[in-house]
Chain A
Amino acid sequence: MRDKHVVIDVGDGAAIPDPEDKGLFTAWRISFFGTLGIIAYLLIFRPDPYLDIIKFLPDGIVVTFQVTFASIGLALVLGLIAGLGRISKNTFFNLVASTYIEVIRGIPLLVQLFYIYFALGHLVRVPDMVAAIVAMGFCYGAYMGEVFRAGILSIDDGQTEASLSLGFNRSQTMRYVILPQAWRIILPPVGNEFIALLKDTSLVSIIAVSDILRRGREFASESFLYFETYTMIALIYLVITLILSKILSNVEHRLSHYERR
């Protein structure tokens, strides 16, 4: 059994807390409970305006989560297809997948959002939420594709050879032997991408989707309480991403069972 621990490094994700860290004061705990403490303090001792701000945001939080989950779903499907395409021996499939990844990764997400929303709006009448989800999903699908490709390639060739010699065909090998193993390696960077995507959904406020940020901006533009509103928004994003990174860290810890000694 090989024992090299494959780590796929993907930038721009949130820092995943180290599950082995047993100290009382970890960076995660300080940030998480610190953030909660500040929010509680503001709500109790400065209910005007902070309570009004937080009351204004819930539907925005729902929209942010809707966009995040729908886009990550789309991105995972596209990523898997693109990743398989990148390592496929079928020239056509390979070329399509590689071109998709090259093109999408070369265009800023903000520009893609504008493009899908306003430019394609002339051709097809897509609702704003759909445009946001398609743009985010296609963008992150390209990055996911590279994560999937790296994860699949990290599985030793011996596995494929053994599987083929046992009579599995190529797709069975992929389904029953390679992907279940690759999944453990892929999951942490996918989790990172998930958190990065959640943060990037703040960009959809530019195409008038009423997410947390847009709700906050609406509040600020009417009350002129810019400092207070954006403080609250930053704190809410922070609480959400910290919770998610903790969940991911626990999942990752379980999955790394075989790598631990």
Chain B
Amino acid sequence: MFKRIVLTLAMLFCVGSSAMAEKTIIFAVDATWPPMEFVNSDKQVVGYSIDYMTAAAKAAGFTAVFKNVAWDGIFAGLAAGKYDAVCSSVSITEKRQKVMDFSTPYFKVRQALIVAKDSHVKSLADLKGQKVGGQIGTTGYFAIKAAEGVEPKSYDEVGLAMEDLNVGRIAAVVCDDPVAANYAMDQYKDTLKIATVIETGEVEYYGVAVKKGNKEVLDLLNKGIESVSKTGYVQEMQHKWISQ
């Protein structure tokens, strides 16, 4: 009897929710990128991007579901259709645009160089012949690879690179500036510092990546991002997550 009631309720719920016909967008997130997206002490995926997309979902009328996925292979999963979008501090680059579509930019970043507190290094050029770490497949790692004479070292997560820098196995780490600030001014504030913000020709913008040609999801995302970007909520989030 109890089972039957539960089943009936479940069915009613299903009918009810489909009647509202709100589109669900599943976002893949590599939650190892504080303060943009990370897992907090309550095991919840939180951060600037998460707040932003939740607000965008409300504005554009879709349901946002966040799925924690490892960075390495996150785009392969997108191509395979395991989720609808990648919202994981993805910088919009020409190479990436060839294989996926991007939403309107929602955040501006540059690459920062992090070194030990007592280091005198001022730029990547000072690090010739030394090991510099970055997260695999990120624009930070590509910047290290592009620098002449520096030995690049790729990590699965930026946190592991920071730890290696902290114990002195590598000379520096390159990553997005909000993340660099989070590590150098919070977790490792006694041992690490930001040496410089690398001027790589142009600034980078974060966008949400969707499968090439997925216009339905892209339109919804753009609608949401555009309406959020006009509100004061952006400053609020900026204050909450980045400039503490």
- In chain B, what residue has the closest Cβ to A214? B154
B109 → chain A closest CB, angstroms: 19
On chain A, the residues within 8 Å of B241 by CB distance are none
Given A208-B155, A226-B76, verify A118-B95 contact (CB < 8 Å): no
The reply to whether B76 and A125 contact each other, CB–CB distance below 8 Å, is: no
The reply to whether B136 and A121 contact each other, CB–CB distance below 8 Å, is: no
The reply to whether B163 and A118 contact each other, CB–CB distance below 8 Å, is: yes
Whether, in the assembled complex, B167 has its beta carbon less than 8 Å from a beta carbon of chain A, the answer is yes
Complex-state Cα separation, A226 to B80, whole angstroms: 11
- In chain B, what residue has the closest Cβ to A218? B154
Whether, in the assembled complex, B142 has its beta carbon less than 8 Å from a beta carbon of chain A, the answer is yes
Among A125, A128, A218, A224, the residue within 8 A (CB) of B136 is: A218
How would you classify the secondary structure of chain A's contact residues: helix, strand, loop or mixed? helix
Whether, in the assembled complex, A127 has its beta carbon less than 8 Å from a beta carbon of chain B, the answer is yes
- In chain A, what residue has the closest Cβ to B135? A221
Among B95, B160, B168, the residue within 8 A (CB) of A125 is: B168
B69 → chain A closest CB, angstroms: 14
The reply to whether A128 and B73 contact each other, CB–CB distance below 8 Å, is: no
Whether, in the assembled complex, A222 has its beta carbon less than 8 Å from a beta carbon of chain B, the answer is yes
B155 → chain A closest CB, angstroms: 5
Given A217-B136, A221-B137, verify A208-B76 contact (CB < 8 Å): no
On chain A, the residues within 8 Å of B160 by CB distance are 118, 208
On chain B, the residues within 8 Å of A257 by CB distance are none
On chain B, the residues within 8 Å of A218 by CB distance are 136-137, 154
On chain B, the residues within 8 Å of A121 by CB distance are 163-164, 167, 169
Whether, in the assembled complex, A122 has its beta carbon less than 8 Å from a beta carbon of chain B, the answer is yes
The reply to whether A208 and B142 contact each other, CB–CB distance below 8 Å, is: no
* Chain B 129-165 interface residues, beta-carbon cutoff 8 Å to A: 133, 136-137, 142, 153-156, 160-161, 163-164
Whether, in the assembled complex, A206 has its beta carbon less than 8 Å from a beta carbon of chain B, the answer is yes
* Chain B 46-72 interface residues, beta-carbon cutoff 8 Å to A: 72
Among B95, B153, B161, B168, the residue within 8 A (CB) of A222 is: B95
- In chain A, what residue has the closest Cβ to B152? A218
A51 → chain B closest CB, angstroms: 19
The reply to whether A221 and B169 contact each other, CB–CB distance below 8 Å, is: no
* Chain B 102-135 interface residues, beta-carbon cutoff 8 Å to A: 133
The reply to whether B169 and A125 contact each other, CB–CB distance below 8 Å, is: yes
The reply to whether A128 and B76 contact each other, CB–CB distance below 8 Å, is: no
B94 → chain A closest CB, angstroms: 13
Whether, in the assembled complex, B38 has its beta carbon less than 8 Å from a beta carbon of chain A, the answer is no
A205 → chain B closest CB, angstroms: 8
A134 → chain B closest CB, angstroms: 15
Complex-state Cα separation, A121 to B168, whole angstroms: 9
- In chain A, what residue has the closest Cβ to B167? A121
B175 → chain A closest CB, angstroms: 15
On chain B, the residues within 8 Å of A128 by CB distance are 169
Whether, in the assembled complex, B83 has its beta carbon less than 8 Å from a beta carbon of chain A, the answer is no
On chain A, the residues within 8 Å of B72 by CB distance are 217, 221
B22 → chain A closest CB, angstroms: 31
Complex-state Cα separation, A208 to B133, whole angstroms: 9
On chain A, the residues within 8 Å of B73 by CB distance are 220, 226
Given A125-B168, A217-B136, verify A222-B154 contact (CB < 8 Å): no
Interface string of A178-217 (1 = CB under 8 A from B): 0000000000000000000000000000101010001001
Whether, in the assembled complex, B27 has its beta carbon less than 8 Å from a beta carbon of chain A, the answer is no
On chain A, the residues within 8 Å of B168 by CB distance are 125
The reply to whether A221 and B136 contact each other, CB–CB distance below 8 Å, is: yes
B positions within 8 Å CB-CB of A = 72-73, 75-76, 79, 95-96, 99, 133, 136-137, 142, 153-156, 160-161, 163-164, 167-169
Task: Contacts A121-B164, A217-B136, A222-B142 known; list 4 others, CB within 8 Å.
Answer: A121-B163, A127-B169, A220-B76, A226-B76
Q: List 15 A-B contacts (CB under 8 A).
A: A121-B169, A206-B156, A208-B155, A208-B164, A214-B154, A217-B136, A217-B154, A218-B137, A218-B154, A221-B136, A222-B95, A222-B137, A222-B142, A224-B99, A226-B73
A positions within 8 Å CB-CB of B = 118, 121-122, 125, 127-128, 206, 208, 210, 214, 217-218, 220-222, 224, 226
